[in-house]
Amino acid sequence: MVGMQQIVAGNWKMNLTLSQGQIFVDNLVAGLDGVELKRQLLLAPNFTLLAALARSCAASGIGLVGQNCAFQESGAFTGETSVAMLKDVGAGYVLVGHSERRQLFSESDKLLQRKVQAVVGGGLVPILCVGETLEQRQSGAAYTLVVEQLKSALSDFPDAPLLVAYEPVWAIGTGRTATPEDARLMHQHIRKFLVAQFTWGAGVPILYGGSAKPENAASLLSQPEVNGLLVGGAALDPESFLQIALA
């Protein structure tokens, strides 16, 4: 969509301690000084860092993202974190359905739909992650699978802010990035779905994730319907994250 501000989001996954995260943000903020940044920056640190990073991120216009949440509002759910708790410590967004959650923690489409609803109900913005495995891509099922994931997680989705992240599983942490063409084709497919599904579907930012780095950021970000990047490994270093943001 013309005029949509691009987004560069860093997902730290289970990396960086509190002091490392604070040093990262300090360096990032220093690097942003005097720079005209056209893109919105988001960071998804571990829950244990959110409260401490909130003030410096807010002061620099960097949005904070929870990496996961419970669908329940509160109660006896040991080890879980509610949307209200994330909001309370300064998160504005929550990642839902990252492939690591789907694959390593058996999160089902049904569960993810409930999480998406919980995020919206709690007043935060879901970043819904979708993407196929290598096997699914090779068998020609990628497009159908991604639409199935979207349909399921977004059933009964209200008129509310939403981000989608296309993260092909075969490109995550592998160094094997989707080609700009792969990304464009899938993003156009996702856009078609969103526009057909929602009157406001043209305005939903669609991020690409999977071995995004300074060397490939510009070519990915120049593709139609690639409205930003969700960066893992290359977002653990403030310099490379900044290079991506400025690519």
Catalytic residues: 98, 167
Contact 8, 220 (CB under 8 A): no
> Which residues face 43 on adjacent strands?
10, 64
Q: 167 or 225: whose CB is closer to ligand 13P?
A: 167
Q: Transcribe 111-163 into DSSP letters.
A: HHHHHHHHHHHTT-EEEEEE---HHHHHTT-HHHHHHHHHHHHTTT--S---E
Q: Does 16 bind ligand 13P (CB under 6 A)?
A: no
Compose the 118-157 pattern: x for residues touching ligand 13P by CB under 6 A, - for all others: ----------------------------------------
Among 231, 242, 244, 247, binds ligand 13P (CB under 6 A): 231
Q: 86 or 235: whose CB is closer to ligand 13P?
A: 235
CB burial of residue 54 (10 Å; 0-12, 13-18, 19+): middle
Q: 98 or 184: whose CB is closer to ligand 13P?
A: 98
User: DSSP code of 225?
Assistant: T
CA–CA distance, 167 with 72 (Å, rounded to integer): 26
Among 107, 167, 182, 225, binds ligand 13P (CB under 6 A): 167
Q: Does 67 bind ligand 13P (CB under 6 A)?
A: no
CA–CA distance, 12 with 27 (Å, rounded to integer): 16
Q: Does 230 bind ligand 13P (CB under 6 A)?
A: yes
Nearest distance in Å: CB 3, ligand 13P: 26
Q: 81 or 131: whose CB is closer to ligand 13P?
A: 131
Contact set for ligand 13P, span 170-229 (CB under 6 A): 172-173, 209-212
Beta strands in 60-119 (DSSP E): 63-66, 93-96
Site for ligand 13P, rule CB under 6 A? 11, 98, 167, 172-173, 209-212, 230-234
